[in-house]
Amino acid sequence: MTGVAAMEPMLPDLDPGLGDQVLSLVEKSSSFSGSLNASLKASVGDIVRALNCYYSNLIEGHDTHLADIERAMRSDYSKEPKKRDLQLEARAHIEVQRMIDRGEMPFPALSAEGIRWIHREFCDRLPDNLLRIDDPVTGETIRMIPGELRTRHVKVRLHVAPDPGSVPALLARFVQAYSSPMLSRTQRILGVGAGHHRLAWIHPFMDGNGRVMRLQSHAVLKELGIGSELWSVSRGLARQVGRYKELLQAADEPRRGPLDGRGSLTESGLAEFCRFFLDVCIHQIDFMRSLLDPAEFTNRVETWAKEEVRAKRLPKGAWRLLREAILVGEFPRSRATDLTGYQERQARTVLSDLVDKGLLVSDTPKGPVRLGFPSTVIERWLPGLYQSNKPGRG
């Protein structure tokens, strides 16, 4: 059996550099979350959930195109079995994150029940093909049970995961360490990065651990008032995936000598991973804030819309409705006449065209509309959002 002491330390010492990063993250997340109206936040949240899913899957080696993810959310699945499975996987990820974003997670993110809930909700939505996995030790094909902690030994790259019988105790220590009332707010935020690694180290499930880790980190950040549906940790991790995996592995190493903390594992390796994780969060907030700068975003959409009108792919008057959705947020369909200056029938035609193209969306057929982000406009409206083959800092 693997004792809980084998996972120590749970947090690195809070040096001035880490403290400054935490402070920067708090300040940036706070100012960003208040910069958009509620309806635009909801629409951006839809595209960011797809973004988070896309990049999280990419980390796992599953490249699902944005258009296929979009179709999956409309229950429009490919007839090709492999592509259909990936679409269902993408939809599963988005639906679980949407529940987290809406506060529908029934357990705290820092609880064994919460971690198992994420795994169960995600895996319950997967096709049976993706639940059948090969045991890395025996080579036997087994069916994974959603939400069930692993009962077999596993090895992930160089890391030999703890004995399966130790997983419940290790999860209990994980929860106690990162939710302790003795922790300061700064330590709790630092603990999101540290916990991301330690959950990977425990490897509580036979498969799906990476997605659970990233969704759980997102949920913890939300509970701390740092994370939001406006930015994606997974995007930053995927764009530096080599570094991400390298630092995860480095933090698995044993203590590097008498000056490397007091636990069984390397404290310096854990600190380095926490610095990386915080840096990723900060840069993703900066990136999304720059994309959604009100003046710049409005200008990009206006330029695009006028080009589309000139090319006769959009009706005249379309920009006025899009501008209202950007500036005000949600507005009733009856406003289309005043906004366009057209007669009711013509204004309704313009509105219907935008709704049909997904540029305006509504929760009900006759309800108010807000801005939509169909895959066809993402690169023009939000340039650089999807560039998995061009790693960098953005």
C-alpha distance from residue 79 to each of 48, 72, 82 (Å)? 27, 12, 9
**Nearest CA to 301 among 369, 378, 386?**
378
C-beta atoms surrounding 27 within 10 Å = 12
Residue written as token pair 């995936």: 241
pTM above 0.85, yes or no: yes
Distance between CA atoms of residues 182 and 22, nearest Å: 18
pLDDT in tens, the chain (394 residues): 789 999 999 999 999 999 999 999 999 998 887 767 888 888 888 888 988 898 988 898 888 888 899 899 999 999 999 999 999 999 999 999 999 999 999 999 999 999 999 999 999 999 999 999 887 778 789 999 999 999 999 888 788 899 999 999 999 999 999 999 999 999 999 999 999 999 999 999 999 999 999 999 999 999 999 998 899 899 999 999 999 999 999 999 999 999 998 899 999 999 999 999 999 999 999 999 999 999 999 999 999 999 999 999 999 999 999 999 999 989 999 999 999 999 999 999 999 999 999 999 998 999 999 999 998 999 999 999 886 444 444 5
